[in-house]
Amino acid sequence: MLTSRYLFGHVENVIAAVMDLRPNRTTDDQRALAAGLSAELTALRTTAANLNISEWWLAIAEGLERLANTGDSMRFIRWAPIRTNMFYGTTFATIALWWQLRRSPAWQSTWAPLLRHRYALGHPPPFPLMPSTNAKAIENAFHLFSFEATTGLDFHDADCVIEFGGGFGSMCRMIHERGFRGTYIIFDLPHSLALQRFYLGLHGIGTDSGVHLCSDLDQLTALLDAGNFTNVSAISTWAMSEMPISLRDRIQAIMTRDCCHKLLLGYQARFEGVDNLAFFAAFAEQTRAAITWSDVPMRPVSGTPRDDDNFYLFGVRAPPLP
């Protein structure tokens, strides 16, 4: 039985095949970044067993290393481990998100320019209704759109952004496209950080742009302390809701610092037996005195939420009393 994901994927591949006919010259800098990705993923092979990660993620890491050594890194977004776990392609849900953005009064001034992936580096499969963008860019833009529509605040209006679980770096790229020029910290597994270093490097975004990639929360905390930031935005779209509870508790301690003014969290109702509805409700209740929370379903939920129902939890820290 053909699924909508399969059919949309076929359309994406046809459009991509046509777009790939255009000449695409790889620069020396891009080749150097690709070599760096291959070397970094190969070096991680010896330490992966000590990272306390699942067999599922180990298999992904092995696939990434193999493809970085044998495949075309300039088309890494089309690699199977990426398409299966980080870039799901067009679905009816993606079309619905794009349509909501399309109907926004700020479509022409904000969202349409932001969605246009000017360089298509990494060769993401194009979105059929707007080939200048892709499904991941639409999802990222919708996260920001939903936060701003709910709270009335610009998420990127901060001196520091912390992202817990950064995928291959697409949200970081978009927030910089939005005009952010502060410090951007991503906390993730080392293999994901290697992808982010490569992808963001292709876009000219790196340490010189204030981007720090770390897989150690102590390192993240040290960066936060050293920066003396007063207006931090923190984001985690689904990554936090898939982490062990012990790690979530440490991240919550960072998110509840006085300097963290805006929180954008996305989560699914359940993950591997964990009741995320209860977990995030408890987090909101514990911090309600200092943070104003909005719990927003990503789609109408009737009755008991299913495991695959998704929600936003937006938080805004109340200003201190005079």
Distance CA(160)–CA(162), nearest Å, equals 7
pLDDT of residue 308: 72
CB 115 within 8 A of CB 101: yes
At residue 101 the predicted structure's pLDDT band, cuts being 50, 70 and 90, is: very high
Could you tell me which residues come within 8 angstroms of residue 124 by beta carbon, excluding any fewer than 6 positions away?
77, 78, 87, 117, 134, 135, 136, 137
Q: pLDDT for 186-223, tens place per residue?
A: 999 999 999 999 999 999 999 899 999 999 999 999 99
Instruction: Count other Cβ atoms within 10 Å, centred on residue 322.
Output: 3
Quick one: CA dihedral 57, 59, 65, 68, positive or negative?
A: negative
CB 114 within 8 A of CB 155: no
The answer to whether 210 touches 182, Cβ cutoff 8 Å, is yes
Q: Could you count the other beta carbons within 10 Å of the beta carbon of residue 215?
A: 15
Give the model's confidence band at 56: pLDDT under 50 very low, under 70 low, under 90 confident, else very high.
confident
Of residues 85 and 256, which shows the higher confidence score? 256
Which band of pLDDT confidence, cut at 50, 70 and 90, is reported for residue 87?
confident
pTM over 0.75: yes
- By the 8 A CB rule, do 241 and 283 touch? no
Closest CA to 83 of 133, 137, 125, 33: 125
Domain assignments of the chain as residue spans, ordered by start: 4-85, 92-137, 152-317
**Quick check: 23 pLDDT over 80?**
no
Return the residue matching tokens 């970085």. 68
- Which residues have CB under 8 Å from 157's CB, separation 6+? 231, 233
Q: In sequence order, which residues have a C-beta less than 8 Å from that of residue 166 and are 6 or more positions away?
A: 172, 186, 187, 188, 192, 193, 196, 213
Residues in the chain: 322
What pLDDT sits at residue 165?
95
pLDDT(6) > 80: no
Query: Can you tell me the distance from the alpha carbon of 172 to that of 267, in angstroms, rounded to the nearest whole number?
Result: 19
Q: Are 150 and 123 in contact (CB under 8 A)?
A: no
Q: What is the pLDDT of residue 1?
A: 38
Binning the chain into helix, strand and coil, the percentages to the nearest 5 are 50, 15, 35
Would you tell me the crossing angle of helices 170-177 and 190-202 to the nearest 10 degrees? 40
What is the average pLDDT across 127-143?
A: 93
pLDDT of residue 26: 86
- Looking at the predicted structure, is the pLDDT value of residue 20 above 80? no
Mean pLDDT, residues 22-36: 88
Quick one: pLDDT at residue 61? 85
pLDDT at residue 300, rounded to an integer? 59
Each residue of 241-290: pLDDT tens digit? 999 999 999 999 999 999 999 999 999 999 888 999 999 999 999 999 99
Strands 160-164 and 183-187: parallel
Q: Are 291 and 260 in contact (CB under 8 A)?
A: no
AA letter at 225: D
What would the mean pLDDT of 57-70 be, rounded to a whole number? 88
- The CATH class that applies to domain 152-317 reads alpha beta
* DSSP one-letter string for 36-76: HHHHHHHHHTTTGGGS---HHHHHHHHHHHHHHHHS-GGGG
Does 160 or 74 have the greater pLDDT score? 160
